[in-house]
Amino acid sequence: MTSGSDPNRPMILGGPTVILVEPQLGENIGAVARAMLNCGLTDLRLVRPRDGWPNPRAVASAAGADQVLDQAQLFPNVDYAVADLQRVYATTARNRGMTQHIFNPRAAAAEMREQWNAGLKIGLLFGPERTGLINDQLSLADALIAVPLNPAFASLNLAQAVLLICYEWFVTTPEAPPERLLRTGQSQPATKADLLNLFEHLERELDACRFFSTPDKRPSMVRNIRNAFERMSLTEQEVRTFHGIVAGLAGRRKGNGA
């Protein structure tokens, strides 16, 4: 398709953060930036890109989406990349045997728009081109997005996947900017950093009371516990309450000499 750029027309911007985990080629990152700006998205985060960053090969394939590349942020791992976000949707092409909500892109976009209008910070998580996201990364998500395609040939490259999902987001854009404030007095949704801090607190105490009796099963048990909390969509106040519950139970156990 030929260029449709027109600097005289208004730019529609705003929407979820796009997070690429271990992208392989600079060209792929540039193509993602182009897809993002087509849909009004500018917040790009990169987790350990294979060929380093910045990467000059990204510029040509971005086809003028320089503002996305110029603002791109680099992170050492997924935990840091999603820490300030309140809702994260991860893309996957395979059933990983995990209990999570799964949306198609259109349904996910509709839900994300409601959350965006309420003032939430939202992220879209995409895995490496060859392998996709691993279970520990998927467990950080509130829900998964799976694209229903030809079951005999459902192969998308990274930029195609980003464009498909971001387009569904873009078509939900209203003609007028929506009100994006939560009601006064309502507790804000917890950030991923809040949740990770709670998980670490809970897991320390579970280790201390020898809850994980079989070391080989600990990783999968931890993922299941985290998934359960993620599905609850906790607020900041609820996270503080759970910290208090964990601390109270731990103190009672120690007081009893357990």
Predicted pLDDT of residue 252: 75
What mean pLDDT comes out for the span 35-43? 95
What pLDDT score was predicted for residue 3?
56
The values of phi and psi at residue 159, to 5°, are -65, -35
Q: What's the Cα-to-Cα distance from 228 to each of 114, 129, 231, rounded to whole Å?
A: 22, 28, 5
pLDDT of res. 187:
81
Q: Which residues on adjacent β-strands are paired with residue 21?
A: 47
**Arithmetic mean of pLDDT over the chain:** 89
How far is C-alpha 162 from the chain's CA centre?
Answer: 13
Asked if pLDDT for residue 40 goes beyond 90, the answer is: yes
Span 236-258, pLDDT tens digits: 999 999 999 999 998 876 767 65
Q: Which pLDDT score is estimated for 151?
A: 84
φ/ψ of residue 87, rounded to 5? -140, 135
* pLDDT of 2: 46
Whose structure tokens read 């950030």? 191
Mean pLDDT of 82-93: 93
| Strand ordering across the sheet containing 17-21 | 73-75, 44-47, 17-21, 122-126, 87-91, 143-145, 101-103
Q: Which residue has the higher pLDDT, 6 or 180?
A: 6
Name the nearest CA neighbour of 19 among 47, 39, 51. Answer: 47
Question: What pLDDT was estimated at residue 145?
Answer: 95
Mean pLDDT of 85-113: 87
Mean pLDDT across 45-55: 95
Rounded distance between C-alpha atoms, residue 14 and residue 43, angstroms: 9
Question: What pLDDT is recorded for position 96?
Answer: 59
The pair of structure tokens assigned to 130 is: 């060859």
Cβ contact 77:52 at 8 Å: no
Residue 76 belongs to what H/E stretch? none
Q: Give residue-wise pLDDT tens across range 181-238.
A: 444 456 889 999 999 999 999 999 999 999 999 999 999 999 999 999 999 989 999 9
Residue 249, amino acid? L
Task: Tell me the pLDDT tens digit for each residue of 174-194.
Answer: 743 444 544 445 688 999 999
3-class DSSP assignment, residue 34: helix
Q: Report which secondary-structure segment, H or E, holds 166.
A: helix 158-170
pTM attached to this predicted model: 0.82
Question: Which pLDDT does position 9 carry in this prediction?
Answer: 61
Stretch 73-79: mean pLDDT: 97
**What is the structure's pLDDT at 7?**
61
Query: What is the number of other CB atoms lying within 10 angstroms of the CB of residue 33?
Result: 30
Residue type (1 letter), 124: L
| Separation of alpha carbons 68 and 87, rounded Å | 21
The radius of gyration computed from the CA coordinates of the chain, to the nearest angstrom, equals: 20
Quick one: what percent of the chain has pLDDT higher than 70?
A: 88
Q: What is the DSSP letter of 126?
A: E
